[in-house]
A and B are shown apart, each in its own frame.
Chain A
Amino acid sequence: NAGVMQNPRHLVRRRGQEARLRCSPMKGHSHVYWYRQLPEEGLKFMVYLQKENIIDESGMPKERFSAEFPKEGPSILRIQQVVRGDSAAYFCASSPSGRLETQYFGPGTRLLVL
């Protein structure tokens, strides 16, 4: 059973470009969480999604960031018009049913904005 897949593993963008980060949850998991890890900091919750629904986006910046988890395909975290402060590691985690279920983390996407 493959684990949580994230791609790309590394992404370099220039200021003003768009970044698209993909997350494929573990087989049978329909709940996805996105976290951001800034340098020298712990992970911060961004958004929680179920298939076709955003459940909790309280950690998402109000502008430029969006997330989706379509019925088919991976979950996408999209950052428009990236700025240097967006440089971070972005982790996706999946679980079978949310709540108390263990979250399984992917290897992360490391975004560098030049």
Chain B
Amino acid sequence: AQSVTQLGSHVSVSEGALVLLRCNYSSSVPPYLFWYVQYPNQGLQLLLKYTTGATLVKGINGFEAEFKKSETSFHLTKPSAHMSDAAEYFCAVSAADSWGKLQFGAGTQVVVTP
């Protein structure tokens, strides 16, 4: 079984500051890890994913995440926040032996202040 924990339901960052969103997972088999972003009243858009290989994954809009197996973490970062980054972010895990169904964290709402 898999589970995902996102630390912090709300995060406020200043424009230009570092964005750091934390995600920890548990999985009994090798996990596949994802970050999605959701803008108000819209569906989810994939930011990046880790399946195998390089543990530092680069995604769209300047985001990246690093898979750390020893820490069971997959934190999302962006060096410099932009106003357009205000949205809700979801970390998700899928087990390698599953049919691809995603287990989502509760989400982190990001507010960007001028």
Contact = CB atoms under 8 A, between A and B. Distances in A.
Contacts of B90: 42-43
Contacts of B46: 102-104
Interface string B72-114: 0000000000000000001000100001111111110000000
Interface in A71-114: 91, 93, 95, 98-108
A69 interface: no
Contacts, number: 60
A58 B6 CA distance: 23
A55 B99 CA distance: 8
Given A41-B106, A42-B105, A101 B42 contact: no
Contacts of B99: 48, 55-56, 98-99
A32 to B, nearest CB: 11
A48 B107 contact: no
Interface residues of A, number: 27
A4 B103 contact: no
B45 interface: yes
A107 B41 CA distance: 7
A103 B104 contact: no
Contact of B44 (A91, A95, A101): A91
Residue among B4, B41, B49 with the highest chain A CB neighbour number at 10 A: B41
Given A42-B105, A43-B90, A101 B100 contact: yes
Contacts of A43: 44, 90, 102, 104
B53 interface: no
Given A103-B46, A108-B43, 5 more contacts: A43-B90, A55-B99, A98-B100, A101-B100, A105-B43
Interface of B: 4, 32, 36, 41-46, 49, 51, 90, 94, 99-107
